[in-house]
Structure 1
Amino acid sequence: MLEKNKTALLVIDMQNDNISAGGKSEGTGAVEHAQKQKIVPHISQLISAAHENNILVIHNQFVVKNDGKAIGSNAPIFINMKNNQSAFSGTWGAKTVDGIDIAPEDFVLQRDRMSAFHGTELNTILKNLDIDTIIITGVWTNMAVEHTARDGADYGYKVIVVPDATATINDEWQSAAMNYAMNNVATKILTEEIIKEL
């Protein structure tokens, strides 16, 4: 049972370069997988339900600043984002995808690492608002979503991941994240079930 005043909805990396046609990830399978998962309509439904029930909504976005000068070269993902100019600050690619609305009362946090907790005020906001449960949605399931779920568990939150409101580049990667790592750190609940409970 979700306690509405102790629950927050996290919307991770729903940006054009990640899942929109014409974005930097086009050609990886990410656009097609997001469409197959129907994550834009599913997340939109969850956002609407959260607003209707006075549940905190936090949009967390990966944004590369200053042309990637400080993103680092320690990991392939950072090198690729810099070389591809993916999610560069101020570009169309870094903007929120069509169909995901950000309300004035929502929080929007930016970061340049995988976990939504890393380098943001996320933990401070959740603690100050007495939140103990986070519902995680967004992309990519095996990267930012998984990193955030792991950190959320380590920070002491009850973590819910929504399988049909997350996507990556294909079903194999989705399954690897959802059916292995998530079993140890999160509860999996579908969009329709969460909305019914709210």
Structure 2
Amino acid sequence: MNRDTWTLERDHVDLRRPGVEPRVVTLDAAPQRLTLDLARTAVVVVDLQNDFCHPDGWLASIGVDVSGATAPVEPLRATLPPLRAAGAQVVWLNWGNRPDRANLPPGVRHVYDPDGSSTGIGDELANGSRVLTEGSWSAALVDGLVPEPQDVAVAKFRMSGFFDTELDSVLRRMRVDTLLFAGVNTDQCVLATLSDAACLGYDVVLVEDLCATTSPRFCTDATLYNVRQVFGFTTTSAQLRAALTA
């Protein structure tokens, strides 16, 4: 349902938006338990795509161990259907650059390629796909994740999914104010997007086991600490599902 619409007639326009029935749940979280309205909530799934997670993708090709990057896939497959059924929106936020890279400054173009001698954004992989290019295999979701027709996809071009994208506009048109975060990497693109969301006034909840990273464990520990300390809350998919069935 389009939540940001008018009712139009030949001689009358009703500016009231459609009412949405609240879907209230209370769940265990840290540092406190949470009560939220799933009808005003979106799950933002960040960068669970081949270049970050697949053994033939970009990070693996430059020597990064991606063996744990797909850990969120199965818990996501179990958690998204009941969240959708309860009224939550799902947004797939994948890094997918312009083929000409015209909007990328050098500091972004050379992420993971600091001296220009390795494979960088937009370069070709051994399988012929171009790194993080929109519409390519590299930018596609990993196997096992299939969007539903009512889901929304947004392309991103920076660590944060809010910078230079339509993500904020899409979420506001959905009438959403609470965001559940999933994806990779926990300490990089997930955290950057979450912190920007908090600065924009969204309520933010990081779902721990729906996120993963190729960074050392201490990076995750620091991220969880900072989310709980200054940005919002953390929970788990099991706690979410328990709240949905309570």
User: Structure 1 or 2: larger helix share?
Assistant: 1
1:141 lines up with 2:186 in the alignment: yes
Percentage of matched positions with identical amino acids? 25
The answer (yes or no) to whether the contact 1:146–1:182 under 8 Å persists in 2 is no
* Residue from 80, 88, 97 that aligns with 1:55: 88
State whether residues 138 and 165 of structure 1, in contact with CA within 8 Å, keep that contact through their aligned partners in structure 2.
yes
* Aligned residue in 1 for 2:41: 7
Partner of 1:162, secondary structure, is: strand
1:4 positional shift? 1.4
1:177 aligned residue: 223
Within the candidate set 5, 10, 17, 2:51 is matched to 17
- Are residues 1:66 and 2:106 paired? no
- Say whether the 8 Å CA contact 1:2–1:197 is kept in structure 2: no
Following superposition, the deviation at residue 22 of structure 1 comes to 0.9
Query: Distance between the aligned counterparts of 2:152 and 2:185, measured in 1?
Result: 20
Q: 1:92 to 1:164 in 2, by over 3 A?
A: same
User: In the aligned structure 1, how far is the partner of 2:85 from the partner of 2:225?
Assistant: 31
Deviation at 1:122, TM superposition (A): 1.8
CA distance in 1, matches of 2:230, 2:221: 14
- Partner-residue secondary structure (3-state), 2:214: coil
Describe the SS at the equivalent of 1:98. Answer: coil
The answer (yes or no) to whether the contact 2:132–2:139 under 8 Å persists in 1 is: yes
- Determine if contact 2:43/2:181 at 8 Å carries over to the other structure: yes
Residue 139 of structure 1 contacts residue 166 of structure 1 at CA under 8 Å; is this kept in 2?
A: yes
Separation in 1, partners of 2:159, 2:227: 15
Q: Distance in 1 between matches of 2:112 and 2:55?
A: 22
Mapped partners of 1:182, 1:115: distance in 2: 19
Residues of 2 paired with 1:197 and 1:119: CA distance?
35
Q: Is structure 2 residue 154 aligned with structure 1 residue 98?
A: no
Q: 1:189: Cα distance to partner?
A: 0.3
Q: Is the deviation greater in 77-86 or in 94-103? A: 77-86
Quick check: 1:28 aligned with 2:73? Answer: no
Say which of 72, 87, 93 aligns to 1:39: 72
What is the one-letter code of the residue matched to 2:68?
H
Which of 121, 127, 138 is the aligned partner of 1:81?
121
Tell me the CA shift for residue 113 of structure 1: 1.2
Q: TM-score by structure 2 length? A: 0.73
Equivalent residue for 1:186?
A: 232
Secondary structure of 1:147's counterpart equals: helix
Cα RMSD between the aligned structures?
Answer: 1.9
Q: Radius of gyration: which is bigger?
A: 2
Runs of 5+ unmatched residues, structure 2? 1-34, 114-119, 125-129
1:179 Cα offset (Å): 2.5
Unpaired segments ≥5 residues, structure 1:
none
Give the TM-score normalised by the residue count of structure 1. Answer: 0.89
- Compute the displacement of 1:195 (Å): 1.5
Q: Which amino acid aligns with 1:28?
A: V
Cα deviation digits, residues 46-67 of structure 1 (max 9, x gap): 2212222121101011112224
Q: Which has the higher contact order (CA 8 A, sep 6+)?
A: 1
- 1:2 Cα offset (Å): 2.2
Letter in 1 for 2:95: F
How many residues align structurally?
A: 195
